[in-house]
Structure 1
Amino acid sequence: MKFFIISRSDDLSNDLMATAKAYLEDFGMTWEEDSPDVVLSIGGDGTLLHAFHKYREQLSTVAFVGVHTGHLGFYADWKPIELEKLVLSIAKKEYQVIDYPLLEVSINYQNSNEPSVYLALNESTVKSPDVTLVMDVILNGDHFERFRGDGLCVSTPSGSTAYNKALGGAIIHPSLQAIQLTEMASINNRVFRTVGSPLVLPGHHQCTLKPVKAPDFMVTVDHLQLLHKDVKSIEYKVAKERVRFARFRSFPFWKRVHDSFIDSER
């Protein structure tokens, strides 16, 4: 079996990476950066996001597992003191592979037939660089509303506990094929109106954002922040690809939510 390790690059994470690498090689596994079977992320959820985008073209063959060296994460759920147990389980292939939905982001341009296409594990946001964002929201080809405000966030179920939650969005179980559209500080008065509530769209639905005024936008895809010019539309839908995680033990999603947001001892 081939493996690779990505570290957050702090001292603790680097030490754990060196230890895990030595253990796994002692078990006869092969260190392989280009085409690993398992990618071990040591750091936090942000480290795993970097790992996901590094292997974005190999999602059908790579399984991810995360060790957290800070706070408990939704993707990095193993503790440093459990490293030896985790390494042994990887070496013995004592794990199941589960997969979660991803968000496909297609940005179309006014003077080009070639869209920019991205995959997001957590979310994508759209903001205007220097003025209020004004976007027509199209759902399945039908005009739904004209949004005015700070921005819009489209998240995956697994990403619903991240920025989406901070915006007041719902937490969605990652077994559901869905995406969620959440507003950022919408303008609502007697002239301008939005629905003012997060929208959860099933897997066979599509959300399209069309500029009303300025054609330039700041678009984020997870940790990536990009300025796109001359935008014609931005299309969001559940991607055909899915992210795969190596699961070694039961850790129910709602327990993870409880431990992250409610249990004060963690």
Structure 2
Amino acid sequence: MRITVFHNSNAKSVRAAADLTNKLKQQGFTVVKDDPEIVITVGGDGTLLSAFHEYVHILDRVRFVGVHTGHLGFYTDWRDYELDELVASLKRDDNEKISYPLLDVSVRYAGDNASTHYLALNESTLKRLSATMVADVYIRDELFESFRGDGLCVSTPTGSTAYNKSIGGAVLHPRLEAIQLAEIASINNRVFRTLSAPIVVAKDEWIDIYPDPKAKDDYVMTVDRFMTKKRPITAIRYRIAKQRIAFASYRHMHFWNRVEDAFIGEKQHK
């Protein structure tokens, strides 16, 4: 089995990654950088996001495993003191996996005939830097609302617990094949009205955002935590991607247990 150990620059992560690499080699695994079968990330959820974008071109043949060197994250099922148990699980690997939906982001830039595609594991946002953002929002080619505010966020079910939650979005179970649109500080008064609530869109539907062309040079789009190259945007289409991300299911925490652990803490027993 070909395994990549992908880590961040934190000293604790660097030590854990080196220790894990040695343990893998001792057990006969091949540790590689290119074309892995499994990518083990050591760090946190941000590290896994970076690894996802590094290996996004081989999602059809790679599985991910997350090792956390801090608090347990949403994409990390193992802790840095459990490396022996992780390696033992890899030895028993039977190719089982659990997969989650991804967000397809199709962007049309001014002056380009073709769209540029990105994949997001968590979310994509569109914001305006220096003034109120104005944009028309279409759902399945029908005008839904004319938005005014700070920005818009479209998230995956797994990404619903990230930035989406912080702006008032709902938490979706990752088995749901859906995407969610959440408004960021929308303006609602007698003149301008939006739904001002999260919208969950089915997998056979799509969301189009058309920013006001008069301010197209002032918009910033992000894909996960990465800012795309600043270019004038004429339209963005969001939909469920054909590709999915796969995690090796050696020990995958139940989603709602993960949510409870991350946001509520120790369960209160009456």
Give your verdict on TM over 0.5: yes
- 1:257 is paired with a residue of what secondary structure? helix
Query: After the TM superposition, which residues 1-266 of structure 1 pair with which residues of structure 2 at under 5 Å, given as runs?
Result: 1-93=1-93, 96-212=96-212, 213-216=214-217, 217-264=219-266
Q: Are the counterparts in 2 of residues 137 and 210 from structure 1 also a CA contact under 8 Å?
A: yes
- AA in 2 matched with 1:175: R
| Percentage of matched positions with identical amino acids | 49
Cα deviation for residue 264 of structure 1 reads: 4.5
- 2:257 is paired with a residue of what secondary structure? helix
- AA in 1 matched with 2:60: S
Q: Distance in 2 between matches of 1:81 and 1:255?
A: 21
Number of positions where the alignment pairs a residue of Structure 1 with one of Structure 2: 265
Q: Are the counterparts in 1 of residues 104 and 119 from structure 2 also a CA contact under 8 Å?
A: yes
Runs (4+) of structure 1 moved beyond 3 Å?
none
- 1:159 is paired with a residue of what secondary structure? helix
The superposition leaves residues 174-197 of structure 1 with CA deviations (integer Å, 9 ceiling, x where unpaired) of: 011110000000000000000010
Cα deviation for residue 227 of structure 1 reads: 4.6
Q: Distance in 2 between matches of 1:227 and 1:215?
A: 13
- AA in 2 matched with 1:171: V
Q: Distance in 2 between matches of 1:230 and 1:16?
A: 42
The superposition leaves residues 106-144 of structure 1 with CA deviations (integer Å, 9 ceiling, x where unpaired) of: 110232112221000000000012111100001000000
Q: Gaps spanning 5+ residues in structure 2: where?
A: none
Q: Are the counterparts in 2 of residues 94 and 248 from structure 1 also a CA contact under 8 Å?
A: no
- AA in 2 matched with 1:204: D
Q: Gaps spanning 5+ residues in structure 1: where?
A: none
The superposition leaves residues 16-65 of structure 1 with CA deviations (integer Å, 9 ceiling, x where unpaired) of: 11111111111111111110000000000000000000001000111001
Which deviates more, 187-196 or 81-90?
A: 81-90
- 1:238 is paired with a residue of what secondary structure? strand
TM-score using structure 2 length: 0.95
Q: Distance in 1 between matches of 2:76 and 2:254?
A: 14
Q: Distance in 1 between matches of 2:91 and 2:266?
A: 34
Which deviates more, 247-256 or 87-96?
A: 87-96
Q: Distance in 2 between matches of 1:107 and 1:94?
A: 39
The superposition leaves residues 70-96 of structure 1 with CA deviations (integer Å, 9 ceiling, x where unpaired) of: 121000121122111011111221562
Q: Are the counterparts in 1 of residues 77 and 251 from structure 2 also a CA contact under 8 Å?
A: no
Cα deviation for residue 250 of structure 1 reads: 4.5
Q: Distance in 2 between matches of 1:244 and 1:197?
A: 31
> Would you tell me which structure has more strand in proportion to its own residues?
1
Which deviates more, 198-207 or 6-15?
A: 6-15
Across the aligned residues of Structure 1 and Structure 2, the Cα RMSD in angstroms comes to: 1.3
Q: Distance in 1 between matches of 2:252 and 2:113?
A: 46
Q: Are the counterparts in 2 of residues 102 and 239 from structure 1 also a CA contact under 8 Å?
A: yes
The superposition leaves residues 216-262 of structure 1 with CA deviations (integer Å, 9 ceiling, x where unpaired) of: 31001011112533321011000000001011124110000001111
